[in-house]
Amino acid sequence: MEFRFFDPSAKTEVTHGHLPHWEQLNAYYFITWRTADSIPKELFEKWHAEREIWLRGHGVDPSAEDWQRELEMLPENEHQEFYRLFTTKWHVMLDECHGECVLRRPELSAIVAENLLYQDGIKYSMEAFVVMPNHVHVLAGVAGRGEMKRLCRNWKRYTAGRINAVLNREGQFWQWESFDHLVRSEASLRKFREYVVNNPVKARLKANEYRVWTK
């Protein structure tokens, strides 16, 4: 399978929740999803409100479907400021390991890891992933258009069922929405791979508290 980096001139499908989701044909993605208790509600709402204020203050309407495209058109220093203040902060909040963090348990992280590799080479090409105590990072090329969100739903649905069965629980395990980012270049692909591999080190986890894989 051959995959492409983000092309601003190519057809892009955009959907919205709290976060925007951009998809292109046969693209590389960096995807993050988290457990339902991984970020306290008050912290998330504060982050979301601050992000909206910043965007509006820089002439970007966060309710518009193409707000991310407008963000990309800002001067480079403003663009970098946004990612430092909000994207980086999002990941820092996850690495603070809020919540129960049941994915520290090797038998539970194994469920996620095995599922991520199950159709590798068929529906997607896995580049790297890490299962952290309360979230998952995936770097992969996804075949087709509009398949990335479907894959995420399937990964989350299957693993939630299996993990809840082990824990003898019912109800929501993963947060409904995922954070995803179209990879823009070979350099960005390397950067995301390094982030995935080094994430447990930055979070100061012990060797048995995470599960990492890379091609």
Per-residue pLDDT reduced to its tens digit, 124-170: 999 999 999 999 999 999 998 778 888 999 999 999 999 999 999 99
Is there a domain that residue 172 lies in? Answer: yes
CA pair distance 27, 6, nearest whole angstrom: 7
Asked, for residue 58, whether it belongs to a domain, the answer is no
Token representation of residue 109 = 């992280």
pLDDT tens digits, 78-97 = 878 887 888 777 777 778 88
Asked, for residue 185, whether it belongs to a domain, the answer is yes
Average pLDDT of the residues in 93-122: 93
Residue 168 is assigned to a structural domain of this protein: yes
Flag whether 64 is in a domain: no
Establish if 81 belongs to a structural domain: no
SS3 55: helix
CA distance 137 to 152: 11
The answer on pLDDT for 198 being more than 90 is: yes
Q: What is the pTM of this model?
A: 0.81
**Position 19, amino acid:** L
Q: Which residue has the higher pLDDT, 146 or 118?
A: 118
Domain hosting 121: range is 13-38+99-214
User: Residue 16 pLDDT > 60, yes or no?
Assistant: no
Kindly state the DSSP code that residue 169 receives in the 8-state scheme: -
Radius of gyration of the chain measured on its C-alpha atoms? 17
Could you tell me the CATH number of the domain that includes residue 152? 3.30.70.1290
Which has the closest alpha carbon to 180: 2, 1, 19, 7? 19
Q: How many domains is the chain partitioned into structurally? A: 1
Task: With respect to residue 19, please indicate whether it lies within any of the assigned structural domains.
Answer: yes
Give the amino acid at 3. F
Question: Does some domain include residue 210?
Answer: yes
Q: What is the mean pLDDT of residues 100-106?
A: 96
